[in-house]
Structure 1
Amino acid sequence: MRTPLLLLFILFFIPVAATAGITVTAFCPDPYLPYDPDEFIVLTGEGSLDGWTITDGEGTLGFPQGSRINGDLVLARQAEAYWTTHGVYPDFEWDYSTDTVPNLIHTDNFILANTEDEIELYHHGTRRFEIAWPRDLQPREGQIHRIVDGIWNPRPFMIGQSDFSPIQFEGVSATLFVSPDSAYEVIEQAISSAERSIEVSVYEFTHPGIGELLIEAQNRGVSVRILLEGSPVGGVSPEQAALLSVLNQSGISVDYMGVSGGERSRYRFLHSKYLIIDSESLLLTSENLKESGIPLPGYAGNRGWGVWIHDARLADYFGMVYSEDSIGSDVVPISPMRNADIPASGTSDAHTQRYSPLFIEGVTIIPVLSPDTSHLVPEMIAGATRTVEIQQAYISNWTKNAPNPWLDAAIDAARRGVKVRIILDASWFNIQDQFDNDEMAAFINRYADADGLPLEARLYQGDRAGITKIHTKGVIVDGNSVLVSSINWNENSPMNNREAGVIIEDPDAATYYLRVFEEDWKNEYRPAGQTLAIPSEGWPKPAIAMAILLFFAGIILGKRIRKD
């Protein structure tokens, strides 16, 4: 069941359309309940509703005499069904289900069709608004179509999703760290410092050492809660099932979002990776709670970036995100295994620590959430004037081989004269197929060479430096701003997943992660036999889409290899 909090986001964060008077600002013609009794329309405006009617070309809705609007007004087909989905009643219903909500006046059969229909708004017979699908927008089950800053559907907004707005926090202190060098010691310190509460939001969790730290916290009276993805790529591993069972049996609350065969999940994946400590600090990283991502000191593991933020305001902000995510019909408690034991620690190669944690203070931090505010990342790159460094596990095209707009932002930066460098992972699963990181890096470099752009992509040879793979999801801009996040550079991650990150605006933070980037930049992997030819003449931007489309034709969309 949806919560009133989410409905408040829908109602109060939908900007009023830039036309005078009353208009339609949101609607949902294809919700999840059978036969769509919870479909709805949102009107926005001020004044009397006398003389206003809505039609879909088959039926017409009108308002009782004397009705008025003051802001947003929700009109639902059946109020009880709308309450089932959203947790609150609408302002009006047009198909009677309860005496609690007033009825609209309707003639003929007003039911919004899923795949093809229209909404028209009239005032005393004069049409004031119209929209049709699929003419004006693409229909999709579960999507709330809405207008934001004069644009319909700037991102898919699905039933149950949050809608947090961008916010900035100044005067923040933080501890910076990287994997594999110093991640475990910072996470151990953060968990050990907890006195009242720990909330964990993570994609996968198999780390026995961190599991034991959380059990110790629970035993000393700390309230520990864990929320995980219920259907990760490849399924829940036996190691995770065993570890979570032990944690749950020790008294820790463990829930899954989006289990297979359960209620529809609000997000494609819960892919965030953060811990909230005592509602006073926030630890956020690119790494899952696995030994490969957070290795014990002295052992090899993934390259990843992280930050422990010592600020109650940011902790409260992410506490709201956690509260929003942890309740809903798609969240269920785990079913613990009987007689489970904490899995034994794995083995890995030794690794010499090169990067100790760094404490900084007085910095500005901007949270980044997917899908709510992930647009801040390409906007960050669009603001670059000198340099952009990007380190990603992989970069892939969007649906139907459409070009990646985040990569477009980097290419645009290079066209402005900004020096752009990109590091991608060269693990076997990221270069084994025909359309993977090696082909993407080759395309970027040949495109840059053809137009003389200050743009270069390299693949990372992990075994040269004792790094298992590149798992970072980070960006550095102008030596002043840094993105630390869980956001992969594919379509799903910024548009459909729950992801979490922060932009840190501080030159010392940029210098810290840039040192790591520079070392990784030197460890280049050079695959053989790449021959992607493109024109040597100046290439207009529209050709980017065509070139990528042709080059990656036949790509297997939604590839399910465990790349996270």
Structure 2
Amino acid sequence: MRRIAAVILLLCLLAGTAGGIQIVEFCPDPYQPGDPDEYLVLEGTGILDGYVLSDGEGGYRFPPGTRIDGRLTVARSGPAFEQSHGYLPDFEIEERTPAVPDVIPNGNLLMANRADELLLYRGTTLVQQIAWPGDVCAREGQIHYFEDGAWDPRPLSIGQSRLKPQTFEGVAVTAFVAPDCSYEIFSAAVAEAEREILVNVYEFTDEKMANDLICALDRGVAVTVLLEGGPVGGVSPEGRAVAGALNRSGIPVLSMTTTDAGHAKYRYDHAKYLVIDGSTVLLGSENFKPGGYPAAGLQGNRGWGVLLKDPELTAYFREVFLFDAAGGDIVPLGGTAAELYTPWAPDYTVEFAPCHAEGARVTPVVSPDTSVLILGLIEGAEESIAIEQAYITNETPCDFNPYLAAAIDASRRGVAVRVLLDAAWFNTEGDADNDEMAAIINRLAAAEGLPLEARLADLEANNLDKIHNKGVIVDGTKVLVSSINWNANSPAFNREAGVIVEHPDIAVYYLAVFEDDWDASDRSKASSAPETDRLKIAAAACILAALAGLYLYRRRRT
């Protein structure tokens, strides 16, 4: 019995050593110059006597009797850490402030940015070792964290939220599409607001949408607008004019950008949603621009959107907005006094009215926190997948985009997969864009005999300016409506917002829109992209030959 008891005691001690107190988070390369805010987090329960942290050169231990119950944070500098995170650490390495107790150093533990290691000892026993590169990949501003037995399940940078998947039942949904009926849904939703409108959108250049918000403010609604402070190409003159008009009306316009007080939380704030009165969320693929929300009867983009009514779901998105709209990376955007105007657009014949349904199941998809849910949606397909995207880019020349790879794998198990991509010039004139992507997909389908097909949208046939959608329909029952582009950046580093809606009526509605776009498209354009490239090259050669002949002719004349 004594031997058994001794073995049990030894196993308990080993369990406490190997699986108890451990490093669960660290950031070796924060944004502040000189990295005074670098830190690590221990997790566990017990007395820290005998525990030592080291990088193989220097290290530190804790004051005698220090107890951990849960998480304990150690930073190089308490004030620097507080500036980055908004609260003080439990301990600091360099004595900076009386408010934070100090560890007991032995040499100097400084985590190198690109290559280093962390060692956790209990006495002379090595409990844990983490190396980078190796266990994690180094990146400026990235927080490395341990969850569900793995390091870095998704990229996490300083200041970002840590949302978990959450689903809401019994949601009332109104589905709509651009250009057919997007503006009428937006205008009506804003007109019904009584207390509060929170707006988060990548770009805002639409005159009539700005005026709708100003009218809401005039009747006593509190309106706040958050924009991306550094969109591709910068904030446009039209965007600055809208910001100026909103500011002059009394609506605060904020922007997310890197400042002296804080690094931008996300590479781009690319979300596109409204939160209204704690009861309603309007969300979709389109920016607040004339092409995304055109007046009825005018041409615009193909985009998808939803109006969601549910207090708990709305509270979720309100918390996301309030989190993102706070911090040192949020500053006012003043704008200009330029006059607002709406550019001319061709006429458009409306085909699709909004579709309303009750009792939907809705799961928010918020990048970078829960964008992995898109993989789960595609991987769970049993019969069909319809994908309509502005564009799809591969991760590397050898690796498919993970969402596309999941769709291709689904086709290999018999799921019928269709991919519809934009055909606007800026998505087809390069050497590796939508026409090449469609050709790759179709060649793979032909080579393996898969129920898989890609097409380029025929914009002229459907009188659309471009496909700006980021949507997926699975099994005719589930729909992804979102702002998430299928590239390496959008799911992992941007703030994006979307939802997976589960309701047969809503899925049927979007499938009808997809079928209309699909049927209007020319399959041959997607299948003959290499031939198109050869024609481009031949035409260029003819032009060069003609110019050379003209040059020789003129030389002979002179």
What is the TM-score when the length of structure 2 is the normalising length?
A: 0.90
Across the two proteins, how many residue pairs are aligned to each other?
Answer: 514
One of 315, 340, 348 as aligned partner of 2:338: 340
Does the CA-based 8 Å contact 2:391-2:486 persist in structure 1? Answer: yes
State the match for 1:462 in structure 2: 459
Specify which structure has the higher proportion of helix. 2
| Higher-Rg member (1/2) | 2
User: What is the aligned partner in structure 2 of residue 58 from structure 1?
Assistant: 57
| C-alpha deviation, 1:530, in angstroms | 3.2
Instruction: Give 1:344's aligned amino acid.
Output: Y
Looking at structure 2, the residues matched to 186 and 18 of structure 1 have their Cα atoms a distance apart, in angstroms, of: 59
Equivalent in the alignment of 1:349 = 346
The Cα of 1:261 is off from its aligned counterpart by 8.9
One-letter identity of the residue aligned with 1:391:
E
Deviations 1:335-392 (A, max 9, x none): 232x432x22211111111111111111100000000000000111000111111100
Distance in 2 (CA, whole Å) between partners of 1:53 and 1:42 is: 13
Cα distance between partner residues in 2 of 1:70 and 1:417 = 51
What residue in structure 2 maps to residue 160 of structure 1? Answer: 159
> CA shift at 1:401, angstroms?
5.9
Q: Secondary structure at the match of 1:470?
A: coil
Q: Is the 8 A contact 2:93 2:102 kept in 1?
A: yes
**2: CA distance between counterparts of 1:164 and 1:19?**
29
| Contact kept? 1:230, 1:260, Cα under 8 Å | no
**How far is 1:249 from its partner?**
0.5
Aligned identity (percent) is 51
**Correspondence for 1:75:** 74
- Give the unaligned 5+ runs of structure 2: 1-15, 532-558
CA distances 1:395-438 after superposition (whole Å, capped 9, x unpaired): 00125764311111101111111111110000111100111100
Q: For residues 35-93 of structure 1, give each alpha carbon's deviation from its aligned partner in whole angstroms, at most 9, with x where no partner exists.
A: 11111011111111111111101112111111111111111111111111111111111
How far off its partner does 1:263 sit?
A: 4.7
The reply to whether residue 412 of structure 1 matches residue 413 of structure 2 is: no
Picking from 482, 486, 494, the partner of 1:485 is: 482
CA-based RMSD of the aligned residues comes to 1.6
Residue type of the partner of 2:301? N
Report the Cα distance in structure 1 between the residues aligned to 2:80 and 2:529, rounded to whole angstroms.
57
Shift of 1:473: 0.5
Choose from 417, 440, 443 the match for 2:437. Answer: 440
Q: Aligned residue for 1:543?
A: none
Q: Classify the secondary structure of the residue corresponding to 2:432.
A: coil
- Residues 457-485 of structure 1 show CA distances to partners (whole Å, capped at 9, x for unaligned) of 11101111111111110011111110000
The reply to whether residue 395 of structure 1 matches residue 392 of structure 2 is yes
Which residue in the other structure is 2:11 paired with?
none
1:80-119 → structure 2 map (5 Å cutoff)? 80-119=79-118
Contact kept, 8 Å, 1:39 with 1:77, in 2: the verdict is yes
Correspondence for 1:364: 361
Q: Measure, in 2, the Cα distance between the counterparts of 1:294 and 1:419.
A: 32
SS at match of 1:143: coil
Find the counterpart in structure 2 of residue 505 from structure 1. 502
Q: Check conservation: 1:399, 1:491, Cα contact below 8 A.
A: no
Report the residue type matching 2:453 in the other structure. Answer: E
For residues 152-195 of structure 1, give each alpha carbon's deviation from its aligned partner in whole angstroms, at most 9, with x where no partner exists.
Answer: 11221110111111000001111111111110110010000001
Cα contact 2:262–2:327 (8 A) shared by 1:
no
Is the Cα contact below 8 Å between 1:168 and 1:367 reproduced in 2?
yes
| Secondary structure in structure 2 of the residue aligned to 1:130 | strand
Residues 1:265 and 1:243: Cα distance change in structure 2 (over 3 Å): same
Which residue is 1:203 aligned to? 202
Alpha-carbon contact 1:18-1:150 (below 8 Å) kept: no
Task: Encode CA deviations 1:240-260: one digit per residue, 9 max, x unaligned.
Answer: 111210111000010111169
Q: CA–CA distance in 1 between the matches of 2:467 and 2:147?
A: 36
The AA in structure 2 aligned to 1:88 is: Y
CA distance in 2, matches of 1:297, 1:329: 40
Q: Distance in 2 between matches of 1:255 and 1:333?
A: 4
1:296 corresponds in structure 2 to 295
Question: Corresponding residue for 1:515?
Answer: 512
Residue 432 of structure 2 is aligned to residue 426 of structure 1:
no
- Please give the alpha-carbon distance, in whole angstroms, between the structure 1 residues aligned to 2:184 and 2:47: 62
CA distance in 2, matches of 1:168, 1:73: 31
Q: Distance in 2 between matches of 1:200 and 1:531?
A: 43
Q: Distance in 2 between matches of 1:236 and 1:259?
A: 15
SS in 2 for 1:122: strand
Equivalent position SS for 2:139: coil
Change (3 A) 1:104 1:263: closer
* Residues 206, 291 of structure 1: 8 Å contact kept: yes
Question: Equivalent residue for 1:266?
Answer: 265
Deviates more, 1:418-427 or 1:256-265: 256-265
Q: What displacement does 1:135 show?
A: 2.8
Whether contact under 8 Å (2:240, 2:334) holds in the other structure is no
> Which stretches in structure 1 are left out of the alignment for 5+ residues?
1-16, 533-564
CA distance in 1, matches of 2:400, 2:150: 21
Q: Deviations over 1:277-335 (max 9, x none)?
A: 11110000110111111110011110010000011111110000000110111111012
Measure, in 2, the Cα distance between the counterparts of 1:402 and 1:233. 26
2:449 to 449, 452, 456: 452
Within the candidate set 365, 375, 378, 1:378 is matched to 375
CA distance, structure 1, for counterparts of residue 85 and residue 529 of structure 2: 53
Query: Which deviates more from structure 2 when the two are superposed, residues 259-268 or residues 196-205?
Result: 259-268
Partner SS, residue 468 of structure 1: coil
